[in-house]
Amino acid sequence: MNRILDPRRHYSSPEDMGDDGVNTTLNTTMGEVIAARYSRRGMLKGALAVTAISGTVSPMALLAGRAEATEAKPIFNFKEVVAGVDETHHVAEGYDANVLLRWGDPLFPDAPDFDPQNQSADAQARQLGYNNDFIGLVPTPNGDDISQRALLVVNHEYTTEELMFPGLREQEEAGFEGMTQQLVDIELMAHGGSIVEIRKNNGRWEVVRDSRYNRRITAETEMEITGPAAGHDLLKTSADPEGRRVMGMLNNCAGGVTPWGTWLSAEENFNGYFGVNVPEDGLPVVEAQYDDPQAQTKAQDERDAAYLARRDEILGGLDNLDLMERYGVPGAWYAWNRFYDRFEVAKEPNEPNRFGWVVEIDPRDPNSVPKKRTALGRMKHEGAENVVNGDGRLVVYMGDDERFDYVYKFVTAGAYDPDDRAANMDLLDEGTLYVAKYNVDGTGEWLPLVHGQGPLTEENGFRDQAEVLIKTRLAADALGATKMDRPEDIAPGPDGQIYVMLTNNTRRAAEDVNAANPRPENAFGHIVSMIAPEGDHAAETFNWTILVKCGDPSIAEIGATFSPDTTENGWFGMPDNCVIDAQGRLWISTDGNSAEETGRADGLWGITTDGEGLATSVHFFRCPVGAELCGPFFTPDTESLFVGVQHPAEGGEDWPEFARVSTFDDPSTRWPDFQDGVPPRPAVVVITKAGGGKIAV
Ligand code: FEO
Ligand code: CA
Ligand code: CA
């Protein structure tokens, strides 16, 4: 989810315990001014002068120089989609976009059909979960061609109560008044992930519902904690005094698949599930005062202050408050702690430490226990795209999605063995975690997070390697890593290139800019391109430049740097997920575009990364209103492209044609079913060329 632009996840509530690095003032920023102006400027668009704000680096010159030495990649060959916002999806002419799986679709022969008016936790546990984010394909064990038959893995990131359940108004605003244990139990089952066997039949993908591999992972699936932090005191709870077993995974955003056919699922905003039950007896009551809004605001402020004081009194009795605060715990975005003590930090203060990891799951064994791989660090993990280095070691790239947080990579100690799957299964338990430091001259360093090295000592709060990993963010702070504009997905390529999506950061002040994050109040994000020296992804240095600063290139103040060949449909803001296809082309999906922000829905764009036409972007797929686009994932033959349409209808208030909060009963779109009484449903969509063939070639 895009937590910055999503108004329903508001951050000024009494529940908001400041995420470190997040400036909690609510001053209007330049980016917000630009965004607001954008929505009003209408016909003036073409009349605005273009005098781009110059950055501290010249990405065009640097990349053009590199491009001369490299062979030009194939271009994107398709007719662009028109940018805009409406109730449905759009794909480039000559392509089919078919819904493969929707929230609630049954995944087993005996699973019930989706019945939105009569949902249950038991039914949800046998159906596709909510809000599909990462999408991957892993090979079946039977030697099938993965481009024809495969195991689809899907993350289910989060739930939105008022869009899922009938009769509710916006629940976060309403203090979760409508959330019963029955509904919370459905939410628990709607999280996690799904494994589904799929096959291509006469050119169209279909679900193999009776496959023995189909599986739901939920917020209650038993998992093992492995690697250096397993068994550490900070991971022990009353339900798990050994600190080695945990129930479920939470807020799994992007991820990756390993060369040995396992699924890496990355836990992102886990902090949101933890809360504190603050007794409300005796707190001031705020009455609606329609004739005196100032008095009402004052009364609300007084109530909030009293609430916070009471909450802080409860939290004040806990150890490791600095650790909790650095990760934004308790986020209190859900009502789960009212029904389950493990989500109540006053009762189980270590439970949050057991989330925020990369989880490795073996889709080929439906009975396998998912493993939380602590060696890869604990953060708000966005993804875990990886590459086999020249020396055989696996290198996993990871963004920590928070304003002013960091870019990481993990290098395994051992080498991947393509001939011995079993030997690879615990490769991710041993290796070195690094955090990136970007120098002003276009060089960079990977700083190792190793106990005993530099500041990572007991005197500084790190007693052993386990504590370095559980407190990854604090360790990276101590090392002086570069504060980024919300690192999302990272795509590494085989010839040493690495693309980092930095989605936005409107809280970066002018005095806080650095070379790799050169725009203050960065509302639209940018993409950093890194090069591993001589293609060595395990190296401790790199070179970098900025591929593109995003946003509307026709508004001078935004300072976007798409190439002049980019059409008015071709530019985008808020890059989130990304993939390099088998043709070597970079594709980017976005989260946060809207009628208000950029005059366009989220979707998929291809961008030229070198050669002629560098930083030319083209629009291939467009989401229905309110949805962000996740995935994307290509089959190796480039003939099928899987994308995840997440949270259709969310943020209805950002679309002038709807202009109110979307709910189950009154959504801004009922995509993809468009049937009365059926709510909008997040869905996995497969794109193919009409009549077959490679996509965009
Ligand atoms: Fe779940 Fe960083 O997006
Ligand atoms: Ca997202
Ligand atoms: Ca994301």
| Ligand 1: residue whose CA is nearest its atom 3 | 1
Ligand 1 neighbourhood includes 628 CB (under 6 angstroms): no
Distance 449 CA to ligand 2 centre (A): 27
Please answer whether residues 353 and 252 qualify as being in contact, where contact means their C-beta atoms are separated by less than 8 angstroms. Answer: no
3-state SS assignment for residue 449 = coil
What share of the chain in percent tops pLDDT 90?
84
Instruction: Give the per-residue pLDDT at 11.
Output: 30
Ligand 1 neighbourhood includes 107 CB (under 6 angstroms): no
The tokens for 463 are 């007693």
Ligand 1 neighbourhood includes 162 CB (under 6 angstroms): no
Please answer whether residues 385 and 256 qualify as being in contact, where contact means their C-beta atoms are separated by less than 8 angstroms. Answer: yes
Q: Check pLDDT > 90 for residue 41.
A: no
Distance 1 CA to ligand 2 centre (A): 4
The full set of domain ranges for the chain reads 14-268+356-689
Q: What is the pLDDT of residues 419-471, one digit of tens each?
A: 999 999 999 999 999 999 999 999 999 999 999 999 999 999 999 999 999 99
**Average pLDDT rounded to a whole number, residues 516-532:** 98
Ligand 1 neighbourhood includes 467 CB (under 6 angstroms): no
The tokens for 409 are 């990579």
**Average pLDDT rounded to a whole number, residues 31-58:** 31
Ligand 1 neighbourhood includes 630 CB (under 6 angstroms): no
pLDDT bucket at 319, cuts 50 / 70 / 90: confident
Ligand 1 neighbourhood includes 268 CB (under 6 angstroms): yes
Ligand 1 neighbourhood includes 602 CB (under 6 angstroms): no
Instruction: Give the per-residue pLDDT at 612.
Output: 87
CATH tag for 14-268+356-689 (out of 2.60.40.10, 2.102.10.10, 1.10.1740.10, 2.120.10.30): 2.120.10.30
Least confident of 183-192, 263-272, 492-501, 521-530: 492-501
Ligand 1 neighbourhood includes 401 CB (under 6 angstroms): yes
Q: Check pLDDT > 90 for residue 47.
A: no
Q: Check pLDDT > 70 for residue 304.
A: yes
User: How would you label 49-83 residue by residue, b for 16+ Cβ within 10 Å and e otherwise?
Assistant: eeeeeebebebbebbeebbeeeeebebbebebbeb
pLDDT bucket at 495, cuts 50 / 70 / 90: confident
What average pLDDT does the chain have? Answer: 90
Q: What is the pLDDT of residues 642-695, one digit of tens each?
A: 999 999 999 999 999 999 999 999 999 999 999 999 999 999 999 999 999 999
Give the C-alpha separation, 536 to 563, whole Å.
29
Instruction: Give the per-residue pLDDT at 464.
Output: 98
Q: Which atom of ligand 1 has the smallest separation from the CA of 2?
A: 3
User: How would you label 361-399 residue by residue, b for 16+ Cβ within 10 Å and e otherwise?
Assistant: bbbbeeeeebbbbbbbbbbbbbbbbbbbbeeebbbbbbb
Please answer whether residues 151 and 197 qualify as being in contact, where contact means their C-beta atoms are separated by less than 8 angstroms. Answer: yes
Q: Check pLDDT > 80 for residue 377.
A: yes
**Average pLDDT rounded to a whole number, residues 58-64:** 37
Give the C-alpha separation, 238 to 440, whole Å.
48
Ligand 1 neighbourhood includes 382 CB (under 6 angstroms): yes
Distance 401 CA to ligand 1 centre (A): 6
Give the C-alpha separation, 150 to 139, whole Å.
5
Distance 591 CA to ligand 3 centre (A): 7
Is residue 330 reached through a cis peptide bond, with omega within 30 degrees of 0 on the bond before it? yes
Q: What is the pLDDT of residues 547-598, one digit of tens each?
A: 999 999 999 999 999 999 999 999 999 999 999 999 999 999 999 999 999 9
3-state SS assignment for residue 135 = strand
Residue type, 647: H
Q: Check pLDDT > 50 for residue 50.
A: no
Instruction: Determine which helix (DSSP H) or strand (DSSP E) holds 315, and give its type and residue range.
Output: helix 293-315
Phi, psi of 666 (to 5 degrees): -140, 75
Distance 589 CA to ligand 2 centre (A): 9
Q: Check pLDDT > 60 for residue 9.
A: no
Distance 219 CA to ligand 1 centre (A): 18
Distance 384 CA to ligand 1 centre (A): 12
